């Protein structure tokens, strides 16, 4: 019998000094995808966020060997050794990475940056043509839950 179970972590409260925002928001391992390359690909209808895992997928669950969840998919079957612990859902992954995409150009320590990250939804309404807005959910929402 094959089971992929993980113990939970509490990323925001594990040390006195937190990590840089990008250490989680654009880190495939922190999101639960395993090692690999998150990239923005230009397609005919705009930009699409893509993830290419470093390791091959196991036949038992179609996940890369070091992953807990698949990119932009919601995993609902038995997933953890602890009650209540689960991988990020498709929507949660998209929200996490959406902030990460902005971090590519808008570093959290830049002058005046607090107006972006203090009210992120409002900042998204003020994007300029230079801002890259990948379609994060289009592929994920069409996939079946695993």
Q: What's phi and psi for 40, nearest 5 deg?
A: -105, 125
In this prediction the pTM is 0.78
Per-residue pLDDT of the chain (146 residues; tens, 9 = 90+): 787 777 666 655 566 776 778 888 889 998 999 999 988 887 777 777 888 999 999 998 889 999 988 888 888 777 777 777 788 888 899 888 888 888 888 887 788 787 787 888 888 888 888 887 776 655 444 443 33
Nearest Cα to Cα of residue 91 among 34, 145, 45, 43? 145
């Amino acid at each position: 019998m094959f089971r992929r179970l993980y113990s939970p972590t509490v990323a925001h409260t594990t040390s006195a000094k937190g990590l840089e925002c990008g250490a989680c928001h654009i880190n495939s391992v922190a999101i639960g995808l395993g090692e690999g390359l998150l990239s923005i690909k230009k397609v005919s209808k705009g930009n699409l966020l893509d993830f290419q895992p470093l390791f091959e997928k196991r036949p038992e669950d179609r996940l890369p060997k070091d992953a807990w969840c698949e990119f932009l998919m919601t995993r609902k079957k038995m997933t953890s050794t602890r009650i209540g612990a689960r991988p990020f859902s498709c929507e949660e992954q998209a929200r996490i990475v959406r902030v990460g995409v902005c971090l590519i150009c808008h570093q959290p320590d830049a002058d005046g940056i607090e107006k972006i990250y203090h009210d992120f939804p409002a900042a998204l309404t003020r994007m300029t043509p230079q801002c890259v807005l990948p379609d994060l959910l289009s592929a994920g929402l069409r996939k079946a839950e695993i």
